[in-house]
Structure formats: C-alpha cells, structure tokens
Amino acid sequence: MSYCDEMFGLEGKTVAVTGGGGMIAAALTEALLRAGANVALWSIHTETARVTVDKVAGIPGAKERIRNLQADASDEASIRAALDTTEQELGAVDVLINAVGGNKGKGPFVEMDIEVLESILRLNLVAGLVVPTKVVASYWIERKIRGNIVNMASMYRAVPYDETDAGAWHRQIGVDLHGTFYCSRAAVQIMRRHGGGRRLDVAPLVRRRGRFAAARQGVATQCAQNSHHSQDRARWPRPHRPKTTNPGAGFRAPRGVADSLGESADGERWK
C-alpha cells in the first residue's frame, strides 16, 4: 500500500451521498470510488443519478461498489429504508455526505413568496441536513459506529462591497489565507521527513458584480499564490513544488490583490 493510500485511502469504507443526482455529488462519487470506497447514491431522482453511475463505470470495481437507491431526503422512513439497503449490499455506512440543496431564484425581500421560502428551507435544511443526519446518527449510536458527516453548503451572499462586514472579512481571510498557511506548514514538515512531496492549492474564481465574497476570497487567494514566490525556495523539501489551480474554464486569475478588490467591486471582467 502506498503512502497516499495509507493516509487518505477509503478502501472498505461505505459512503452514503444524498442528492446523488447532483453535479457535486457526481464529482464526489468519482473521487470516492477512485479512493477505494463503496458509494451509495441516495436520490429522489434515480434516473438522474444513473448518469453518474454510467459515468464512473470505467473505474475498476465500480460496478460492485456503487448503488443507486431512491430516497426522499426529507422523509425519515425513506432514508431509513435506503440506509438498510445500503448496509445489506455494501456494508455498514461509515460516512454520510449531505449534498442535497438548491434555490428557486431571488428577488426583493418584500416580494418574497412564503411558500417558495418554505420549500427552499425544507430542501436545504430539512432534507439537506436534519433528516439524513438524524437517521444516520441514530444508526451509528445504536451500532456504536464512529462515523463521519460531511455537509455541503454555500457561503456566497449578495452583499454590496461597500457594506462589507469587517468581522466576516477577517473570518474569510482566516479560512482562505491562514488556513492555507497552517495546513501547508504542517504538510511541509511531513514532506521533509519523507524526502519530498507535492502541494496543490485549489482557489476559486468568483466573478459576480458587488459580491462581497468575491473580494475577500480574491484577496486571500492572491496572497496565498504570492506566498509561493516569496518564500525561500531553497527551504522547500525537494522535489516539493507548490502549485495553485483555479477551477473554471475560460477565466484568467487576477494579477494582484488590488485587482481582486477592484474586480469584485466594479464587476469588470478580466481582459
């Protein structure tokens, strides 16, 4: 077994993914299968989840390690039935990924449709978190299983740039910049002991007019990228090579911190 497999492999583990027909769930499913996990897709739309199943069919052993199960994440009985089937066919569930979520448009607060609001809350809170977590957590407690829960959530809010909250700004910088530093520092110490390694930083490109999240993420991202060049490269354990990637085809990364601030404030697209 390789070092990476030993550290990060999921062979023998069973992962349940709610919202199994969604794009995020599809990407997670492929990664989980490649890491050796068994994956149960719990989706109310099994025909959509079938697309994911077909997509990952080429992964070795995928056919035996994936299941497409119909389940309404807002209904306890439905989730419990999916959990029982998963246990019977793939083994005890070790990880729950809550990937149900969505929106139904936006508009002025005073024009809000309460029925639409309630349906969004039910989708994102009840189905996206409460019901699956309640059922699976009860299952773990009953069987004395030490499980793990991963919750998928959006952190983008349409806050005008000139109304940026300082506390939220510092929290975002803490996650995107300080988090990169602390994790990288710990990883380099391990790489040094093992004679080398690789580091890949994944940085989002957020381009929406007036979005506060774009400014704070842009600044933190650019600072992290710049740190790759400002550090004494001779101190990096060879052949360690820090890299940063920005997912999203057709976009070019900002060239500096001021650019990041300016783009999020005025909405101008990069040339």
> pLDDT digits over 122-153, tens only?
999 999 999 999 999 999 999 999 999 999 87
> What is the per-residue pLDDT for 9?
83
- Higher-scoring residue by pLDDT: 75, 214: 75
pLDDT digits (tens, 9 = 90+) for 159-208: 666 777 788 778 878 877 888 888 888 888 888 888 888 777 666 554 44
CB 229 within 8 A of CB 201: no
Residue 212 has pLDDT above 50, yes or no: no
Q: What is the DSSP string of 130-144?
A: IHHHHHHHHHHHHHT
- Percent pLDDT > 90 in the chain is 38
CB 242 within 8 A of CB 199: yes
Query: What are the CB-based long-range contacts (under 8 Å, 24+) for 101-110?
Result: 101/19, 101/22, 101/128, 101/152, 101/153, 101/154, 106/158
- pTM, rounded to two decimals: 0.61
Of residues 178, 75, 198, the one with CA closest to residue 126 = 75
Residue 215 has pLDDT above 60, yes or no: no
Mean pLDDT computed over every residue of the chain: 77
pLDDT digits (tens, 9 = 90+) for 72-112: 999 999 999 999 999 999 999 999 999 998 887 777 878 88
> What is the per-residue pLDDT for 87?
97
| Most confident option among 87-96, 206-215, 219-228 | 87-96
